[in-house]
Structure 1
Amino acid sequence: MLATFIASTPLLSESWRMCSVATRNSPQSFVMEQVGEIVYVAFPAAQMVHVGSEPSCREMVRLDFASCSSALFPLCRPIDGEEPVMVHAALLSLFLSVFQSPSFQSQMPALTQKCKSVVITGHSVGGALASFSALYLLSRLQSLPSSPFHLICITFGAPLLGNRSLSRAIIRERWAANFCHVLSKHDVVPRLLISPPSLLAPHLQHLLHLCNLPNQHIAEIFCFVLAYLVQAGDGTSTSGFWPFGSYLFCSQMGALCLDTAESVIKMMQLTLMTASPTSCIEDHLNYEQYVGRVCSQFLTARSFVNGVNEPNYDAGVSLALDSAGIPNQEMIAGAARDCLKMARRMTRTSPNLNAGALAIRLSHHVPYRAEIEWYKACCDMSDDQMGYYDSFKLRQSSRREARVNMNRIKLANFWDRIIEMLQNNELPHDFTTREKWVNTSQFYKLLFEPLDIAEYYRTQQHRVKGHYIKHGRERRYEIFDRWWRNTHVDDEGNKQIRSRFASATQDSCFWARVEEARDWIDSVRSENDARKRGLLWENINEFEKYAEGLVERKEVSIDVLARNSSYSLWVEDFKVLKSQIQKFPPHHDHDFPSYLDGGIVP
């Protein structure tokens, strides 16, 4: 259906026409032309790229370490312990050289202000430049006020660009739908970089010059790529390169569109199995014929295979295989059917339905969270003036506290299961940037982590393992911290001044810091080593300033200032200790240099 829609528009034919114009008239730059209300930007296939002996040109480079690139693509970053976002070194170097050209600097940034619809296109290596340019403009749009600007990138026979982390970053930003890669049935260039770098190195220098190679070298490259694709027929890539966006597989019979990376790699293998060394080069240069055939055939009404007029899944699969030019051989056709079924299953079931099911399960856990909120409100209004944290830490055996503890365990298991599903790729790649889940996890962390800290110190685990922050904090809270930072990276400088205290202390580890500060005061009283005692005073002084800053900005809950809370008792204990030190004779004062310097004078 997607292939039918794309082919029924002038996008494919106009994009290829612009690619031909760019290759013919501007082989070292790009061309720009307005057709109706759409502006087309096309990059040529022929580029002066030196992919020779430099090791960096035979492998990928980290996008955040490459010169200037981290500023150009700020949103393409990994999260949650993923491997770094990496791209092909030579292609990135080529794009940076184009980016620094006067024509690019003067024309491309202005597109976001002057145009409403832009199509960026390119053939072969020009397709890689088109993809980089599209990512640059999409990143630029994020920093601009919302505008009705629409962008699509259409490439023809382009090599793969980067690794799986790049693909996931694009999905998280919801940019995958902005990329459509047209791939002919036997074109070897888009398939070349799926091979492992160690095996690919002797052949990579031919990537940009396939048309001028002797037939013997072409045959070697073709056999090499085909052999590896057959070996990696399960839809994996050990080279590190990974598809992103939609792939439109073209043949003489029509087109087939896939948008899951595993099914794209599998289909690359199946459609190349019937190729020959000669056809793999011819197909790379023959997109004009394919585009013309696809557009004309899809504009002509076609019935389903074998005269079946009613729409059904099997007939649709048969039509899709026929459009992709899959031969009617039992082994290949069967594998292709499995590939399409896998793509359908991955698109419609695993990640998206799992995320929907989690939303339903989350609603079932709302009563547990409501009970904890009620418990916190009761503790804050209690006559004992201990507050939320200390009431749970010093709790006696009662039904109310038992229910609170049980709810704490249930919610912890729920969030641990979500993290496990993320690690197993059972949720959408943009799950950790969805506002609903980021905000919900942050609220959970602020409300429940104080209970985990209270349980940790109540059971004296700090005596065995060490203090909570370094030795006892659950991994889920560290992951939630990263989620929050990744989606609120620009909020730190725009915090509004609070008019009242927060509903929950904004530092979820605040009570763990209080427990450490209490331990430092006890250690100061018993420590005989002057140097160690000085370090303890520095730690205490830093915590005092930090806590006072939170209170002054009203970033703590009112339970922090309760008369008998651990923090209030710590403040009183610290005042007593300082008053005792002030009474020391002068010859003992050298033991407390930070105090005598005026750093902590009350």
Structure 2
Amino acid sequence: MVGERLGERIKVREELIKKACSLSFKAHKSPGKPYLLEKVRGRALPEVIFVFSGSWSIGDWFSSTSGKAFGETKVDLDLFPSLRNIGNVDEVAAVNEAFFRRFAEILRTSSFKNEVNKAVTDKKQIVFAGHSSGAATAILATLWFLDHNLHVQPNKTQIITPLCITFGSPLLGDRIFPHSLRRENWDNFFIHFITKHDIVPRITLSPPSSIQQDFQKFLNILKTKSPITTHENVSNFFVTVMKNVQSVTSHAACNMMGSTNPLLQTITSFVQLSPYRPFGTYILCSGNGKLVVVENSDAVLQLLFYSCQLKSGQEIEEVGYESLKEHSGYENELEGSLEMQNVVYLDNYLKEVPLSSDASVVGEAATVNAALNDLGLSTRARLCLRAAGELQEQKQRNERKINSNKKEIEEKLKIIQDYQKGCTLRKVGYYDTFKIQKDDRDFHANVRRVELAGLWDEIIEMLKRYELPDEFEGRKEWIELGTKYRRLVEPLDIANYYRHSKNEDTGPYLVKARPKRYRYTQRWREHAERMAQGSSSESCFWAEVEELKSRNKPDEDMGKILELEKDLSAWVERGEIGRDMFLGESTFAKWWRELPEGHKRGSCLAQFMNN
């Protein structure tokens, strides 16, 4: 909605924004301190603001030891367990190593952790803030807080969610960052202010090797605030950065628009593009009092390039000067902009942005068009914004399609659940009945198994291609449905696998054959309930039994046997797995009776087997 006050929309007091900005610049004057701490009293909800200073040394912006073209490294999952793809466990977020190293040092050597814990105990609103590279530290501090207070300890229901407010922040994480934060519903905790020409939010889209010669000179200017006229290399620096920004955004735009040109793949095989991507809410200051608010990260990436173009007749030296001036001028810019309250919320209009600067539009569309004109957006830029909006809408359409299949999934699961009950009534275990395949009921259960596989594989393929909203894997109803599906149907998949002796050609089910539809749904539950990875493996029980049975080496496998018995006892007690495996003629019961007598007498399963 155009005209809604900024503070009301983003749920942040405007006075707090000004305070955070002022403190962020104040922190630069005390670079020896890891952070400044400001306590705001006199409010119903007291605030504690942690502000981090920036660094003017190139080594604190790009690491020379990471071995990567853009100085990135995989995140430390002990510090940031949520920064990963849940289903594709190998997809761990990448972070700028220099920024991460600086935050890790603060966490290790300062009183920061104790101060944060004290603020949590005192039930205060915690705000992390910073300008320039200090903003990168503030972002990492917020992520650390979220993971260690809201994710690892989800039962701390009284914790007040934090805020992160940054000014002129560089990009510091790859595409897994926005994906993870939207999945966790944390994206709206991050508020980033950037100005139209500030080059710093674009810097990490360039490889350090391309700007090495001029970057330290640029940082020295920011540090000393020396006159621009004495530094001719700033223009070259600006041009080099923007050329790299163009490469990244053009490639991203082609992908958004569904380009099938093989040249795209060819180019990326020998031209490395920056992995860094925006996330959170961006507030772009147009320079004349307007504020453009954007949450769509694909749209923000495009704006980083197209809002920083030369106007007709404008010299590159002038824009280079503006980039320095604007990076140091956030306090004045925000003072005027927050007073004017000329705010446009672009996400509502992405799919319908006017394609021409002089388009004949009225009402709110005219206000949006005026803001885009102030940013100097070309027709191509507007097409890219539309593509970002359309991509998000396509993901939502895909989710609606998946949701329309939900009833069918539940109906087929009900049929299999009834089949399972029937097996128990016949005094034959669910697993073994299906494995033997003696009558029509087994056949019909197998048909439902195959049909469900198709429905779930469609979901998994969409997730692998990032064609569903990032929030999907955090939806409670789908986590519960995925768990129910896995527990009911995976034992049938395992029975079918060993019935046809596929293990003799392909290998163990768990190593070579377990479908992604079960791996993904298991990880959804483990992540949602903060369980150790691999601990919710109750649906794989029969595969473990089959492999132990085929090896027939109980002395060598006693460690695995004890672990399996311990897990099975817990699963049965919690009702996560049925008791039909204890029936006398089940595959499990026959195998267990062949174990050494001494082991069986002391087994935690003896009570079940004897009954």
Q: What TM-score, normalized to structure 2?
A: 0.78
Give the conservation status (yes or no) of the 8 Å contact 2:56–2:219.
Answer: no
Match of residue 568 from structure 1: 589
Paired residues of 1:260 and 1:346 also in contact (CA < 8 A): no
Q: Structure 1: which amino acid aligns with 2:466?
A: N
1:248 alignment partner, SS class = strand
Partner in structure 1 of residue 481 of structure 2: 440
User: Which of 448, 452, 455 is the equivalent residue of 1:414?
Assistant: 455
Deviation at 1:85, TM superposition (A): 2.4
1:538 alignment partner in structure 2: 555
Task: Find out whether 1:32 has 2:38 as its counterpart.
Answer: yes
* Partner-residue secondary structure (3-state), 1:272: coil
Counterpart of 1:241 (choices 269, 276, 286) is: 276
Query: What's the Cα RMSD here?
Result: 3.6
Larger radius of gyration: 1
Give, in angstroms, the shift of residue 194 of structure 1: 1.0
Selected match of 2:375 from 326, 331, 354:
326
Deviation, structure 1 residue 267: 0.5
The one-character-per-residue Cα deviations of 1:252-281 (angstroms, maximum 9, x if unpaired) are: 230111122221111010011126211111
- Whole-angstrom CA distance in 1 between matches of 2:240 and 2:89: 34
The residue type paired with residue 215 of structure 1 is H
Query: Residue deviations 1:108-140, cap 9 Å, x none?
Result: 332223344333322112212221222233234
Deviations along 1:11-45, one digit per CA (max 9) or x if unpaired, are: 43333233344345677332414164252525365
Closer, same or farther: CA 3–338 of 1 in aligned 2, 3 Å: farther
Q: 1:122 to 1:517 in 2, by over 3 A?
A: closer
Distance (whole Å) between structure 1 residues aligned to residue 407 and residue 237 of structure 2: 55
Provide the C-alpha distance between the structure 1 equivalents of 2:79 and 2:387, rounded to a whole number of angstroms: 35
Query: 1:128 pairs with 136, 147, 151, which one?
Result: 136
2: CA distance between counterparts of 1:422 and 1:307? 38
Kindly tell me the number of residue pairs found equivalent between the two proteins.
539
Mark the CA change 1:446 to 1:258 in structure 2 (over 3 Å): closer, same or farther.
Answer: same
Q: Structure 2 counterpart of 1:273, which letter?
A: Q
The code of the aligned residue for 1:561 comes to F
Cα pair 2:83 2:92 within 8 Å, conserved: no
Cα separation, 2, equivalents of 1:380 and 1:373: 11
Q: Cα offset for 1:105?
A: 4.4
CA contact (8 A) 1:210 1:218 kept: no
Q: 2:22 aligns with which of 17, 24, 34?
A: 17
Partner of 1:528: none
Alpha-carbon separation, structure 1, partners of 2:517 and 2:204? 36
Alpha-carbon contact 1:45-1:126 (below 8 Å) kept: yes
8 A Cα contact 2:174 2:277, kept in partner: yes
Q: Aligned runs of 1:510-529 on 2, under 5 Å?
A: 510-521=541-552
In structure 1, what is the Cα distance between the partners aligned to 2:163 and 2:3?
15
SS at match of 1:484: helix
Match of 2:5 in 1: 5
Q: Which residue of structure 2 lines up, in the alignment, with residue 381 of structure 1? A: 425
Match of 1:365 among 400, 409, 433: 409
Name the CA shift for 1:201/1:261 in 2 (closer, same or farther; >3 Å): farther
Q: Distance in 1 between matches of 2:537 and 2:134?
A: 49
Amino acid at match of 1:507: E
CA–CA separation in structure 1 for the residues paired with 2:568 and 2:123 = 49
Q: Counterpart amino acid of 2:423? A: C
1:550 is displaced (CA, Å) by: 5.2
Give the 3-state SS of the residue equivalent to 1:83 in structure 2. Answer: coil
Query: What is the match of residue 55 of structure 1?
Result: 64
Q: Are residues 1:270 and 2:303 paired? A: no
Please give the secondary structure, in 1, of the residue aligned with 2:375.
coil
| Aligned twin of 1:169 | 180
The answer to whether the Cα contact below 8 Å between 1:183 and 1:247 also exists between their aligned partners in 2 is: yes
Distance 1:285 1:30 in 2: 19
Q: What amino acid sits opposite 1:511 in the alignment?
A: W
Cα distance, 1:490 vs structure 2? 4.3
Indicate which of 576, 580, 600 corresponds to 1:559.
Answer: 580
Structure 2 match to 1:530: none
- SS of equivalent residue, structure 1 residue 174: coil
The answer to whether the 8 A contact 1:380-1:387 is kept is yes
* 2:279 partner amino acid: F
CA distance in 1, matches of 2:542, 2:89: 27
The corresponding residue for 2:297 is: 261
- 8 Å Cα contact 1:186/1:279 also seen in 2: yes
SS in 1 for 2:481: helix
- 3-state DSSP class of the match of 1:232? helix
**Using the alignment, how far apart are the partners of 1:153 and 1:299 within structure 2?**
23
- 1:496-515 paired onto structure 2 within 5 Å: 507-515=538-546
| Residue 120 of structure 2 corresponds to residue 89 of structure 1 | no
Q: 1:99 and 1:426, CA in 2 relative to 1: closer, same or farther beyond 3 A?
A: same
Q: In the alignment, what sits opposite 1:471?
A: 512
Q: Is the 8 A contact 1:95 1:132 kept in 2?
A: yes
Higher mean C-alpha displacement, 157-166 vs 546-555: 546-555
Q: Percent identity between the aligned chains?
A: 25
Deviation at 1:88, TM superposition (A): 1.9
Matched residue of 2:250: which SS?
coil
**TM superposition shift of 1:491:** 7.6
Answer yes or no: is 1:298 the counterpart of 2:341: yes
- Name the SS of the counterpart of 1:182 in structure 2: strand
Q: Secondary structure at the match of 2:169?
A: coil
CA shift, 1:404, in A, is 1.3
CA shift digits 1:440-475 (9 cap, x unpaired): 212211111111122222333234333433333223
Q: Do the aligned residues in 1 keep the contact of 2:247 with 2:273 (CA within 8 Å)?
A: no
Write the distance in 2 (CA, Å) between the matches of 1:468 and 1:345. Answer: 41
Spell out, residue by residue over 1:367-395, the C-alpha distance to the aligned partner (whole angstroms, 9 max, x if none). Answer: 1110000011011111xx33211211212
Looking at structure 1, the residues matched to 394 and 386 of structure 2 have their Cα atoms a distance apart, in angstroms, of 13
Whole-Å separation in 2 of the counterparts to 1:300 and 1:234: 28
Cα pair 1:123 1:155 within 8 Å, conserved: yes
The answer to whether the 8 Å contact 1:321/1:336 transfers is no
Q: Call closer, same or farther: CA 1:198–1:20 in 2, change over 3 Å.
A: closer
Q: By how many angstroms is 1:418 displaced?
A: 0.8
Residue 198 of structure 2 aligns to a residue in which SS?
coil
> Tell me, which stretches of 5 or more residues in structure 1 are unaligned?
65-69, 496-504, 522-535, 580-593
Q: SS of the residue aligned with 2:130?
A: strand
* Structure 1 pair 129–473 and aligned structure 2 pair: CA distance change class (3 A): closer
Residue aligning to 2:524: 483
| 1:187 is aligned to 2:198 | yes
Query: Quick one: structure 1 residues 243 and 260, their matched pair in 2 at CA, closer, same or farther if it must change by over 3 Å?
Result: same
Rate the CA distance shift 1:2–1:481 in 2: closer, same or farther, 3 A. Answer: farther
| SS of residue in 2 equivalent to 1:110 | helix
